[in-house]
Amino acid sequence: EAQVTQNPRYLITVTGKKLTVTCSQNMNHEYMSWYRQDPGLGLRQIYYSMNVEVTDKGDVPEGYKVSRKEKRNFPLILESPSPNQTSLYFCASSLSPKSPEQYFGPGTRLTVT
């Protein structure tokens, strides 16, 4: 089944404890992105990647890191999480510039206390 998977789906952590949210797609997509969704602010792009080893900042990259070492994986790293990073996170992928339809993962709900 073609899909984007994220792990974990739910995470409660404490301020300053490094964490990684994994994202994987099995559709051989070139593009991958991370978004956060907050009430009243909608969906905002954190980082995106156009291919292996090619990443760039979205609208809200502060406090986050990403890497794209393999085409199928695009992990989101929070080196020192803070309470303002409590949010619902989505990973998405799309095939190519000519086929940019985005397919989303199920989301990861992160709470930082």
Partner 1 sequence: GIQVEQSPPDLILQEGANSTLRCNFSDSVNNLQWFHQNPWGQLINLFYIPSGTKQNGRLSATTVATERYSLLYISSSQTTDSGVYFCAVSQWEGAQKLVFGQGTRLTINP
**Residues of this chain that bind partner 1 (CB under 8 A):** 31, 33, 35, 42-45, 48, 50, 56, 58-59, 88, 90, 92, 94, 96-104, 106-107
CA distances from 93 to 14, 33, 39, 44 (A): 29, 6, 23, 15
Q: How far is the CB of 102 from partner 1 (least distance, A)?
A: 5
Cβ distance to partner 1 smaller for residue 62 or 97: 97
The Cα–Cα gap between 95 and 103 comes to: 9
Cβ distance to partner 1 smaller for residue 20 or 99: 99
Cβ distance to partner 1 smaller for residue 24 or 94: 94
